[in-house]
Amino acid sequence: MANTEASLKEAAAIEGAIGAALVDYTSGMALGTIGGGKELDLTVAAAGNTDVVRAKVRAMEMLGLNEEIEDILITLGTQYHLIRLLKARGTGGLFLYLALSKDRANLAMARHQLKKIEAELEV
């Protein structure tokens, strides 16, 4: 099992990664971040993506969809933003956020690696 710091380091090592965060979507607070810098303020991204997750959860409830969200993908001109909701024991209300450079990343591989990181994460 990996802790938050090790998991974020592993996420940052994904090809094309700009930055990553572990976020509590009940509060909007980042529990940990890595990368970002001038290119991306991960604290602001964590809070903003909390609103995205909450909106999607509400929409699914209103639609009566009895499904779990695996991940949410936001595609920008030059970046991919992946939000992976965590389901392992003790991780309820948390998501992994990963920003990727579109020209350097393999989206399918990044999704696969985030799933692996989720499975090993212990909070």
Q: In this predicted model, what pLDDT tens digit does every residue of 14-38 receive, in sequence order?
A: 999 999 999 998 898 999 999 998 8
- Give strand pairing partners of 71: 84
Q: pLDDT, tens digit, for every residue of 36-46?
A: 988 899 999 99
Chain mean pLDDT for the chain? 91
pLDDT of residue 22: 95
Q: pLDDT, tens digit, for every residue of 57-101?
A: 899 999 999 898 999 999 999 999 999 999 865 557 899 999 999
Buried b / exposed e across 71-97, counting CB within 10 Å, b at 16+?
bbeeeeeebbbbbbbbeeeebeebbbb
Q: Has residue 109 got a pLDDT over 60?
A: yes
pLDDT of residue 90: 55
